[in-house]
Structure 1
């Protein structure tokens, strides 16, 4: 193992340890309940960003439709929570269905009365859909802008479909959740527990992604991004390699969406359409799409900055976000995570090598 590889390895573990201390010790001690809830929301975005960093940063797949998988996990969790609340009240259907005059539970809702089925569905359905889509797209060698447009169209179609489904709340979505697996969401202690659960899920997601990146599969994924035809010539199937990254990204997004529901208390088509999908991508690009922690820091940092600045300048944040995105793409292609290596390269160019210094000393003498 080279010295550079060793430094990167230790820097990752040190960064992960610092993140764990900040999330599990510092944040609960210094943030109010409201700010802690906001941070938990942004950590859910971070899980989506990790998957985008793997698929786009390492695999070269510009995924503009992660809102679909985020929404699948969110809506399945929301359906279970609404059914659990209805059971606590002794009702046969959720409250919004009663207001609409629905007295019989739709067949689509019935499986999600079980918490076990709900958890399994959240873990399986987004990845299964990504598997089907990935095999259909990548085996036909659809890539680049065509894949980006296709994924974005999928997100738009998914949001339109949800708006037309009144049994899923229509454009209002699903909201007013009172419990989370028998835990009252009005209890501050349970809200803190939910924050810890979200933070732990994010750290596990980062660890799983790192394992993929440092493995032989990670090397193949980068090779497919840079020289797909050469990888095919060597006997590997680039479609299979891409599908694994795409399914992993969908899996992470589904988990992030599922935790988003009890954290925020609402899920609607506005949270899963084209605009949220592009916002996920912007955070990853600003943080640094080719790094491991850059997408997380970018997604969380951009969302946190948006929350703070929009409180003071509601109409100005969009322009600032656009300017930041242009600045990063134009002058920092590696994102904010690339500032450190850029400064080190600049410093090395400023300091002359020892041979040059010795030669100048001889000339002076």
Structure 2
């Protein structure tokens, strides 16, 4: 890593910090700022997908699973905290459903520290176990993509059938966030700052991984897996780490999504959201660091804008945009700079002077 690249990275982080912490709160309304906070959660997921897919070649179509795990763990704690404020033993939706006893697996999430630890540990742990089972069997390519997508569908169906965690309606109507009133605009702005800070930390950590020895090994596994295995490395272990890191980011994003948006349901963690995460990464540029971030935010913003003006047109616009990018700009929007950059024309070497060509023949004649 050269000094110039480090300088550019620091300048980029400084500009992003000024935009997120200074410009955005000053020019956006409370509603738009809350929307941007939601988009930042999607961008955190996209950074992990960029690492696993762009660098590792793993087409992760099931990131909604890990996003949902983090989201539901946070939602369970928020519902428990609200019940404690009211002096109840069970959350409000359980009372409506006629449940009078709290399920045993809900009890630990009354503690904030336990909830935070679970959010940070459970999604990457699940990804680690799944990754070992999949990558050790050398499942890759389209087979891995289909398997991960089936996992997202199964997870959403499982949540629909569990009335103890809201069923198809999910969990909503949260009043507090670790003691802070969620109806207060100042606290909503605080959530935006938290999401912005987490995004910057995630991007910085991913950049460090990409520029490390592990990042080079991950790219080598993507391009020449058998050659890496021949050199004595186990490609499965390399993939498992990237898969777990992507799940770690998705779990954090899901946990932040819940207090920002105020609801989590099976519709937010199934196949469609998982594909939407991937579309943003593909459009932004999966092989770059900032491409997934910009793509996720841009696609989410376009979806919101078009849905407000043309409710039925967004699905077609999203599909068309995805086809155009994949078909004509495989590197995404971030790769347009490489396509527009003028290529240097290779100049042929200067011909050798006639005198230098004749010298060897003269030496041979003298030798004779």
Please name the residue that 2:229 is paired with: 232
Q: How many Å separate the matches in 2 of 1:248 and 1:7? A: 28
Q: How does 1:234-313 map to 2 (within 5 A)?
A: 234-313=231-310
Q: C-alpha deviations, 1:205-237, integer Å up to 9, x for none?
A: 111111110000000000000000000000001
Q: Deviations over 1:234-263 (max 9, x none)?
A: 000100000000000000000000000000
Offset from partner CA, 1:107-129 (integer Å, 9 cap, x none): 11111000000000000000000
Question: 1:160 maps to which residue?
Answer: 157
Q: Among 277, 301, 322, which residue is 1:325 paired with?
A: 322
Are 1:198 and 2:195 an aligned pair? Answer: yes
Larger radius of gyration: 2
Q: Distance in 2 between matches of 1:302 and 1:255?
A: 20
- For residues 300 and 64 of structure 2, what CA distance do their matches in structure 1 show? 16
- Rounded to whole Å, the distance in 2 between the matches of 1:7 and 1:283 is 29
Matching of residues 49-198 of structure 1 within 5 Å: 49-198=46-195
Q: Quick one: distance in 2 between partners of 1:303 and 1:313? A: 15
Q: May I ask how many residue pairs the two structures share in their alignment?
A: 350
Provide the C-alpha distance between the structure 1 equivalents of 2:348 and 2:254, rounded to a whole number of angstroms. Answer: 54
C-alpha deviations, 1:63-91, integer Å up to 9, x for none?
00000000000000000000000000000
TM-score with structure 2 setting the length: 0.93
How far apart are residue 15 of structure 1 and its match?
2.1
Structure 1: 5+ residue runs without aligned partners? 357-365
Give the deviation of 1:317 after TM superposition: 1.1
Q: Does the residue aligned with 1:108 lie in a helix, a strand or coil?
A: helix
Question: Which aligned pairs between 1:342-353 and structure 2 lie closer than 5 A?
Answer: 342-345=339-342, 348=344
Q: Deviations over 1:340-363 (max 9, x none)?
A: 1211136x56xx97999xxxxxxx
Q: What is the deviation of 1:305?
A: 1.1
Q: Equivalent residue for 1:211?
A: 208
Q: Please give the alpha-carbon distance, in whole angstroms, between the structure 1 residues aligned to 2:173 and 2:286.
A: 35
Aligned to 1:335: 332
Runs of at least 5 residues in structure 2 that lack an aligned partner in the other structure: 351-368
